[in-house]
Amino acid sequence: YWQVVTSFHQSSSVDKAEELLREAIRLNPHVAEYYLCLAKVLVGRGQWNEAEETANECLRLLQLWGPACCDKRIKWEAKVAWAGGIIQQATKKEGPNRPF
């Protein structure tokens, strides 16, 4: 996760970013931020259904953990709003044409 949020800002590294995020989720499926970043990548790729499911799981975890989430660089409320925005984009099937 940390490698993705600090290093992957180019579309050429999207496959690796997705791979790392999926591995992070596999290793620890209880961290909302992993799902949030993966949902962002999926929206950028136009994978609307999976992006919506992933963002919904992020919201579920955010509600479960509350502000005690792992990454304190972004406020809890902002993460909730970001996940909601991704769900809205996925539902409307519109969003950025780039994953980052």
Question: Which residues lie below 8 Å from residue 20, measured CB to CB, with a gap of 6+?
Answer: 1, 3, 4, 8
Give the C-alpha separation, 21 to 6, whole Å: 13
The pLDDT value given to residue 8: 58
pTM for this entry: 0.84
pLDDT tens digits along 1-47: 656 665 655 555 888 889 999 999 999 999 999 999 999 999 989 99
In this predicted model, which residue has the larger pLDDT, 75 or 6? Answer: 75
In this predicted model, which residue has the larger pLDDT, 71 or 59? Answer: 59
The pLDDT value given to residue 34: 93
The pLDDT value given to residue 66: 82
